[in-house]
């Protein structure tokens, strides 16, 4: 029996609307931050806080070609 993954729609909405609070991409939606920057964070280590978790999730979505999902949520 295969277990169906649970997706929290409220979390995806939050992720879609979350903006980078500091740095080079301050004010950008996380899904609009270039992949190379998120890759740099992955190599450096994501922060151990909520932002780090959201950056890591955004990175994973980009790696799997799903960042447009967040843009569609944001635009709806």
- What's residue 20's pLDDT? 97
Quick one: DSSP state of residue 47? -
> How many structural domains comprise the chain?
1
Q: How far is CA 23 from CA 9, 31, 33, in A?
A: 28, 15, 11
Tokens read off for 68: 């447009």
3 in a structural domain? no
Mean pLDDT per 10-residue segment, the chain (76 residues) = 63 94 96 94 95 94 90 90
pTM of the model: 0.84
- For 44, the domain range is 9-75
Q: Tell me if 45 sits within 8 A of 24, measured CB to CB.
A: no
2 in a structural domain? no
- What's residue 14's pLDDT? 93
- What's residue 5's pLDDT? 54
- What's residue 2's pLDDT? 53
């Amino acid at each position: 029996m295969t277990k169906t993954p649970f997706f929290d729609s409220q979390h995806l909405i939050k992720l879609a609307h979350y903006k980078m609070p500091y740095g080079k991409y301050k004010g950008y939606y996380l899904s609009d931050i270039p992949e190379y920057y998120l890759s740099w964070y992955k190599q450096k280590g994501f922060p151990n806080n909520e932002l780090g978790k959201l950056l890591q999730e955004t990175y994973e979505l980009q790696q799997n070609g799903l960042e447009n999902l967040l843009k569609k949520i944001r635009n709806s």
